Amino acid sequence: MIELSWPQVSARRLERAGLVSAAPGGPEETVAAMCGAHAQVMAAAELSVGLRLDGVTRVHVREALWKERSLVKTHGPRGTVHLLPARDLPRWVAALSTLPATPAPASIRMTDEQSDQVVAAIRDALQGAELTMDELSEAVVAATGPWAGDLVMPAFQTYWPRWRQVMHLAAHRGAFVFGAGRGRKVTYTAAPEAPPATDGPAWLAGAYLRAYGPATPAEFAQWAGGSVGWAKAAFAGVELEEVRLEGRPAWVLAGDTAVPGEPPRGVRLLPYFDAYVVAGRPRELLYAGAAARRALNGGQAGNFPVLLVDGNVAGVWHQRRSGSRIDVTVEPLRDLTPGQLGELQEQVLRMGEVMEGRPRLTIGPVTVGAHA
């Protein structure tokens, strides 16, 4: 059985994530290689994609999403908002629609029949339309009944209507994607038409293992938001090869055991919820020592933007924008060499290009807390 070290696996993942050299292709190919770009914070998604490509700015990512439509914005792994390649959306739907449902609290729970009614109402309302949440809510309640509009879901010091608890389920079933927006208001529209796919879970397991393997079914389940049983069934749909990562059993796609000849080198800045750190496991290897205490939030990755040095999390950072000026504060957890400081400055300048601003680097403590 092949034995792999953490530096070998780290170098392999960095290379496949487009974090060693600029990724080939454009935003669509980059997002595909990442298995989706987390877009709960849209500016972070633009930065995640742009930093992996030469000459790409946030404008190019927005054009791919809203003009070219080669990307879509929807609920992806773990029910969180992601950018996904439009060409792969049927397979994502085929995979995510099979995730086991997590029961809601009894006081707000909907029956399976009610959930199906809401998903159908969302799908019907958005055919040929782009609606705000308030407009969509009116349409859903009108189509299903007053029970759907009961204000029972606690949310940001207010209450949402009952039906919204299945919003991510509707996206996973392909009922909608995000629209381009109406001023400051978020909008929703019908998903692009495409033939349905049938190989979803196995396809997603293969894509995940190509990007983030070696991995276990439990790690895949945590990343996707499914159960371990669901993940094992997905792994069973692809041909696998068992390896050992630092002495632990893990799996890759059969024959996909190649690793770079050199350990990881270089400095990178990764924004909130970058796919590389969210998918990166085992956590104790990626976030070794002080990094776990400083850069994880209750064990969860992504809540802090991170400084990556030679493949490992080695600090946190924060940006504050005022007009075109971007103040970037980086808090390393260890001393950086002059060469690493130079690479860090290059990363900050590249960030300014992606975000179309004038960046200024400060080395010092980050006082901003974790993102929710």
Is 35 a member of any domain?
no
Q: ∠ CA 168-172-178 to the nearest 5 degrees? A: 65
User: Are 303 and 234 found together in one domain?
Assistant: no
Is 13 a member of any domain?
no
In this prediction, residue 102 has a pLDDT band, given cuts at 50, 70 and 90, of: confident
Is the model's pLDDT at 203 over the cut of 90? yes
Is 320 a member of any domain?
yes
User: Are 131 and 210 found together in one domain?
Assistant: no
User: Are 243 and 319 found together in one domain?
Assistant: no
Is 305 a member of any domain?
yes
Question: Which whole number is the average pLDDT over 311-329?
Answer: 97
User: Are 295 and 352 found together in one domain?
Assistant: yes
Question: Which whole number is the average pLDDT over 311-327?
Answer: 97
Domain count, the chain: 3
User: Rounded CA gap, 277 and 87, in Å?
Assistant: 25
User: Are 356 and 277 found together in one domain?
Assistant: yes
Is 224 a member of any domain?
yes
Is 119 a member of any domain?
yes
* 3-state SS assignment for residue 242: strand
User: Are 282 and 354 found together in one domain?
Assistant: yes
| H-assigned helices in the chain | 6-16, 27-34, 42-50, 58-66, 89-96, 112-125, 133-144, 167-172, 200-212, 217-224, 228-235, 275-279, 283-286, 290-295, 338-355
User: Are 247 and 271 found together in one domain?
Assistant: no
Is the model's pLDDT at 104 over the cut of 90? no
150: containing domain: 102-173
Q: What is the pLDDT of residue 124?
A: 98
Is 17 a member of any domain?
no
User: Are 345 and 307 found together in one domain?
Assistant: yes
User: What torsion, rounded to 10 degrees, do the Cα atoms 26, 339, 269, 352 define?
Assistant: -70
For residue range 246-270, list pLDDT tens digits in order: 999 999 999 999 999 999 999 999 9
User: Are 309 and 332 found together in one domain?
Assistant: yes
User: Are 249 and 286 found together in one domain?
Assistant: no
21, burial (CB in 10 Å: exposed 0-12, middle 13-18, buried 19+):
exposed
User: Rounded CA gap, 100 and 30, in Å?
Assistant: 29
User: What torsion, rounded to 10 degrees, do the Cα atoms 229, 235, 236, 238 define?
Assistant: 160
User: Are 274 and 354 found together in one domain?
Assistant: yes
User: Are 340 and 271 found together in one domain?
Assistant: yes
Is 298 a member of any domain?
yes
> How many helices and strands (H and E) does the chain possess?
15, 16
